[in-house]
Amino acid sequence: MSFSKQSRVNQVSFGSLGKLFRTTAFKLSLAYLVLFSIGAGLVLTRVGARVKEVLDEQIEQTVEAEIRALSEQYAQGGLHQLTNALERRVRAPGGSLYLLTTHSGEMIVGNIEPTTSVPVSGSQLVETPYQRRGEPGVEHPALLRLFLIPGGFRLLIGHDIEDHQVLRDILRRALGVSLFWLALVGALGGLFVAHRMLERVDVMSASARRIMAGDLHERLAVSGAGDELDRLAENFNAMLERISELMTGLREVSDNIAHDLKTPLTRLRNRAEAALRGASDNGEHREALNAVIEESDGLIRVFNALLMIARAEACYSSDNLTTYDADAVVSDIVEMYEPVAEEQGVRLEAVTEPGLCVTGSRELLGQAVVNLVDNALKYGTAGDNPRVDVSAKRVGDRIEITVADHGPGIAPQDRERVVGRFVRLENSRSRPGSGLGLSMASAVARLHHGALRIEDNAPGLRVALSLPATRAAVSRERVA
C-alpha cells in the first residue's frame, strides 16, 4: 500500500473515530462514566476510612484491656510482678508492643528500642514510628499510648499497624485499578453504543437524503427495538405518509382541474364567442350574458369547494377551533333544506340527541353536512319511497352524523373511489354537480380526527360522519 493510500485510510479512521466521539450516545456514556467513577471512588474511600476506624478501635480496646491487666499486676506485686508479666508478653508472638522505663528513660523490659519517641501522656492512642529491639535504624508505624506508674516509671503500650497500612495500600491500589478498568470498560462500552447508534443514524440520514432528492416512497428503517430512534422513525414515516397523501392529492387536483374544468371553461368561451358572432339584439345579448354568468357561478362554486377542501386537509382552521353542539348544526341544516325537500316531494326527517359537543370548525362541519344532505336529495330520492333520514347520536365515545336515503346507492367497489375529487359515477353525470361533496366531507372528518363511512342502507346509501366527542359532552351526559 502506498503512502498516499495509507494516509487516506488513516484520515478515514480518524474521521470515523471523531464522529463516534461527537455522538450524543458517547458523550452521555462518558458523563455517566465520570459520575459513576466519582461515586465509586467516594464509596471505596469511605470503605477504606471505615476499615481504618474499625481496626484502630480494636487496637484501642486491646490496649485498654492490657493497661487494666497490667495495673492489676502492679497493684498485686509491685514492679517485680509487673516486670515478669511484661516479659511473658514480650516473648509471646504478635504485634503488641511494650516498653517499661525509669523516669530517666532507662529501659527495664520491652520489645521497643528506648530511642522511640514517646507520645505525651493521655487517654488517646497516638500514631508514631518505633524501632524494634534488634532492628536499630528501621522504623515501623505503631499506635502507642503512654501510661505513668507511681514511682516515676513509664509504661509504653501499643500495637504495630504496619499490616494495617499494607491493607490500606491494597485498598488504594484496588481503587486505582478498579477505576482504570471501569474507565476502560466504560469507554469501550460507550464507543460500542455510539457505534451502534451512529450506524442507525447514518442509515436514517441516507434515507433522509434520498427523500430530499425526491424519492417520497422511501421510509426510515425501524429496527423493532421500540427505542427512541424507532419512535422517531415511526413518527417521521407517518409524517412522510401524510406529505405523500397531500402531494398525491395536489397532483390529482391539478390533473382534475386540467380535465374537469376544461369543459365548462370551453363552454363559457364558446357561448361568449357565439353571442358576439350571432346576437343581433339586446335580448340575445342578455341571454348570452346570463348563460356566461351561470357558468361563471358554477366555476366559482367549484373553486370555493376546492378551497374549503384545502383548508380542511391542511388544518387551516385549527387555530380557531371551538367547541359547539353538533346536534344544533344538524337541526339548522335540516330546517334549511325542508322547503327544498318538500318542493321535490321528499320526506326529510331528522332525529338528534341533545348535548353532542364536538371540537372543530363549525363552518366546515356545517358545509360537510350540507353536502351530504344535498347529495341525498339529488341522487337518493328515486323510487316509491322518497325519504332522507338525518340523525345525530352518540355511539360510545364518538358522535355519528348519518344521512341515509332510499335511492339506487353506490356499488361496493365504487365507495372508496367516490371520495376522490371530481369523481362522478356514470349514473350521476347527467345531474348538476362537481364531484367534490364527498371529498370535502372526508377532509372535514379528518380535520376533526374522525372518519367518513359509506355503507349500504338496503336499499339506498348511508353516509356517516364519525367524530370524537369532547369531554364536555361526556361530562354533560354524566350530569344528566
Q: Output the tens digit of pLDDT for each of the chain's 480 residues.
A: 444 444 444 444 445 556 656 666 667 777 777 777 787 778 777 877 887 788 888 888 888 888 888 888 888 888 888 888 888 888 888 778 888 888 777 888 888 877 666 665 556 778 888 888 777 777 888 888 888 888 778 888 888 888 877 877 887 788 788 778 877 887 777 777 777 777 777 788 888 888 888 777 788 888 777 777 788 888 888 888 878 877 776 676 666 666 666 667 777 777 777 776 765 566 766 777 777 777 777 677 667 666 666 666 665 545 567 888 888 999 998 999 898 888 888 888 888 888 888 888 888 888 888 888 888 888 877 766 688 899 999 988 889 999 998 888 777 777 777 776 666 555 554 455 566 778 778 888 887 788 888 888 888 888 988 888 886 544 444 334
377-406 core/surface letters (b: 16 or more CB in 10 A; e: else): bbbbbeeeebbbbbbbebeeeebbbbbbbb
CB 350 within 8 A of CB 330: yes
- What would the grid cell of residue 248 be? 398525491
Residues in the chain: 480
Q: Closest by alpha carbon to 415, among 405, 404, 423?
A: 423
What is the per-residue DSSP string for 41-80?
HHHHHHHHHHHHHHHHHHHHHHHHHHHHHHHHHHHHHHHH
Residue 75 to residue 99: CA distance in whole angstroms: 18
- What would the grid cell of residue 359 be? 371540537
Helices 282-313 and 437-447 sit at what angle, rounded to 10 degrees?
Answer: 30
pLDDT at 81: 87
Q: What is the CA radius of gyration of the chain?
A: 48
Q: Is 463 exposed, middle or buried (0-12, 13-18, 19+ CB in 10 A)?
A: buried
pLDDT at 476: 45
Residue 50 to residue 369: CA distance in whole angstroms: 80
3-state secondary structure (DSSP) of residue 93: coil
- Nearest 5 degrees, angle CA 91-CA 97-CA 101? 95
Residue 325 to residue 328: CA distance in whole angstroms: 5
What is the per-residue DSSP string for 430-476?
TSS--S-HHHHHHHHHHHTT-EEEEEE-SSSEEEEEEEEPPHHHHHH
pLDDT at 479: 36
Residue 467 to residue 297: CA distance in whole angstroms: 32
pTM for this predicted structure: 0.48
Residue 326 to residue 440: CA distance in whole angstroms: 18
- What would the grid cell of residue 5 be? 493510500
Distance of CA 357 to the CA centre of its chain: 31
What type of residue sits at position 185? Answer: V
Residue 189 to residue 26: CA distance in whole angstroms: 9
pLDDT at 217: 79
- Whole-angstrom CA distances from 75 to 65, 70, 72, 149 are 15, 9, 5, 10
Q: Closest by alpha carbon to 304, among 249, 363, 248?
A: 363
- Whole-angstrom CA distances from 352 to 183, 207, 208, 331 are 71, 50, 49, 8
